[in-house]
Amino acid sequence: MLNLKRNLERIDGRGYRAYQEIKGRYEFEGSTLFIDYVQGDPFAPPSRIRVRIPQEITGFPREFYEKRICNIALCDFLTRRFEDNIKRFVKGNRGTGNSGRVTIDYPGQEILPRSSMVVTREYVEARFSMGLPARGRRVLAQAAEAMFFEELPKLVSYSLILRNLDKDQLIAHLYSCEDQEALRGELPEKKLVAFIANGSILPRASGVDDRPLKSGSVIPFKSPIELEVSLPAPNSGRICGMGIPEGVTLIVGGGYHGKTTLLRAIERGIYNHIPGDGREKVVSIPDTVKIRAEDGRSVKRVDISAFINNLPLQKDTSDFSTENASGSTSQAANIIESLEMGAKLLLIDEDTSATNFMIRDKRMQELVAKDKEPITPFVDKVGLLYKDYGVSTIIVIGGSGDYFDVSNLVIAMDDYLPKEVTLRAKEVASLYPTHRRREGGEVFGVIKGRVPLAEGFDPSRGKRGVKISVKDRSTILYGRHAIDLWAVEQLVDPSQTRFIASAIHYLTRHMDEKKSLREIITHFMEKIEEKSLDLLFVHGDYALARRHELAAAINRLRTLKIK
């Protein structure tokens, strides 16, 4: 503690780079301060700081952090309290550039494994950023002292010590997360792919605000009696709601009646949500993947022959590559790549799909013969996908009744409430047969593993060194190229994108060219679970993404090469 004071006094008024001299470890009363990285300029990204407090001081009982899911929830809760207390105790900007600012990687509505907070049996550690104060480009030692010796102790004490927290609120946070994980774990045994609890609030505040809609008349979710199931949760008891079984499910209904809202809730059901989000009892199986058309994406050596074949000029679709995929081609590649990574539930909204990929009706079949149409529509493959591989599909559809013939369940959204209308849909299909010919064959087709080559992962820029940066949630600048993730809709946090960028670079240096992409990523994710996000780098700006999103980023790397 005294060493830090002396170091600050010594560099007062000197050029900003003198702050480099305070880098290191300092023992405070009841805590340890780590100054890991010091910015070189007041306008540069802020300095990286860690504060560690022993568990005998924090007061957290072991049951709060020994189970993995409780540990994740506790870290999430403490990160949110830390952010709240920044506003309470930190004065904020005081000088040039980022001077005086304190920030922590703040979560959204989802509870994700993060590196912003670490809880072990020995300690609790907060990881955050500080803008070291400057006047112009001169060290402001007194302002820095106020940050380290006045503001930071209050911030740490009121954020990381149990007696200064709302214990009831913390327990509710832990219990809610534990219940969500338990509900998700119940799905396979019940042969369900998703569950939406009665009373859930599914609509969001806006297209750019993921908090629950509160203004106006919000209709809580209520399951139709035919689909209602009751699942056990360790803290809330049995919870009733709508269970969606394995197989092919259609969500139909008029426009603005809640079809896409329901699909979006299921899409996010792979994540746990904070209490009060409205979707904290909406869960889907972990290997749920949202699929859409994605014009212009790069595709590298993917076998899309299950959907596209017999191209002009005899182009081989069992080993297909393009730098500029069409809507139908990209949707086919997105499905095959997801299956390659082990997807067990596909989510599709016709609004974001290629029409010619989803359906080819009787009239078009008569006008354009099959030997002149390379695309086999999804309607002819969706049932085979479940029969051959056990992969279920949920489709939002309002424009084609042809899917009634291949569905196992039809849910109609009517004034934001679901109704079970499978029997009526089958009656309609019998009364008004389409007479279209099935074009999918008797089997879905082969799903091949692909082996990536290390030479396809080059993050350098010519003679310049490695350059990897994350622009926002949907863009990674990787060497000379951008990885565009706008269509990877289950990526919800820029910190997940930072994780993916660092993970790709890690895999580049540990590539095994005898293993498939799925094997490589699965092994990597196992190491992350064993050793934590610190396997990549020790700082507080990562949030864990699934193997599906990591693979999606690699598949969109335009320099990717496949063995």
- Range list for CATH 3.40.50.300 in the chain: 186-448
- Provide the residue type at 331 as one letter: Q
Helix (DSSP H) and strand (DSSP E) numbers for the chain: 15, 29
Dihedral sign for Cα 209, 210, 215, 218, please.
Answer: positive
CA distance 275 to 166: 14
Bridge pairing between strands 345-349 and 123-130 = unpaired
Q: How many other β-carbons are positioned within 10 Å of the β-carbon of residue 209?
A: 10
Q: Which CATH architecture has domain 186-448?
A: 3-Layer(aba) Sandwich (3.40)
8 Å CB contact between 394 and 251:
yes
Dihedral sign for Cα 180, 181, 184, 186, please.
Answer: negative
**Minimal CA–CA distance to 22: which of 106, 96, 130?**
130
For residue 465, what pLDDT is reported? Answer: 72
CA distance 468 to 44: 17
8 Å CB contact between 470 and 497:
yes
Cross-strand pairs, 346:
289, 393
User: In angstroms, how far is the first alpha carbon of the chain from the final one?
Assistant: 56
8 Å CB contact between 124 and 160:
yes
**Minimal CA–CA distance to 287: which of 358, 187, 197?**
187
Burial class (CB in 10 A: 0-12, 13-18, 19+), 19: buried
For residue 371, what pLDDT is reported? Answer: 84
CA distance 128 to 118: 12
Q: How many other β-carbons are positioned within 10 Å of the β-carbon of residue 395?
A: 26
CA distance 524 to 505: 12
CA distance 429 to 543: 46
**Along the 563 residues of the chain, how does pLDDT read in single tens digits?**
678 999 999 999 999 999 999 999 999 989 999 999 999 999 999 999 999 999 999 999 999 999 999 999 999 999 999 999 999 999 988 889 999 999 999 999 999 999 999 999 999 999 999 999 999 999 999 999 999 999 999 999 999 999 999 999 999 999 999 999 999 999 999 999 999 999 999 999 998 999 999 877 899 999 999 999 999 999 999 999 999 999 999 999 998 899 999 999 999 999 999 999 999 999 999 999 999 999 999 999 999 999 999 887 778 899 999 999 999 999 999 999 999 999 999 999 999 999 999 999 999 988 998 888 899 999 999 999 999 999 999 999 998 999 999 999 999 999 999 999 999 999 999 999 989 999 989 999 999 999 999 999 888 766 667 788 998 999 999 988 899 999 999 999 999 999 999 999 999 888 888 999 999 999 999 999 999 999 999 999 999 999 999 999 999 999 999 99
Does pTM surpass 0.85?
yes
Burial class (CB in 10 A: 0-12, 13-18, 19+), 435: exposed
Where do runs of H (alpha helix) occur along 251-381?
A: 259-267, 327-340, 355-358, 362-367
DSSP 509: H
Bridge pairing between strands 138-139 and 134-135 = antiparallel
For residue 467, what pLDDT is reported? Answer: 83
Dihedral sign for Cα 113, 114, 115, 120, please.
Answer: negative
| Beta strands in 201-245, from DSSP E residues, in sequence order | 204-206, 209-212, 228-233, 237-245
Bridge pairing between strands 102-103 and 123-130 = antiparallel
8 Å CB contact between 389 and 444:
yes
DSSP 308: B
Q: Which residues touch 474 (CB under 8 Å, ≥6 apart)?
A: 484, 485, 486, 488, 491, 497
- C-alpha triplet 444, 292, 319: angle, nearest 5°: 50
DSSP 452: B
User: Which residue in this structure is represented by tokens 């709240």?
Assistant: 84
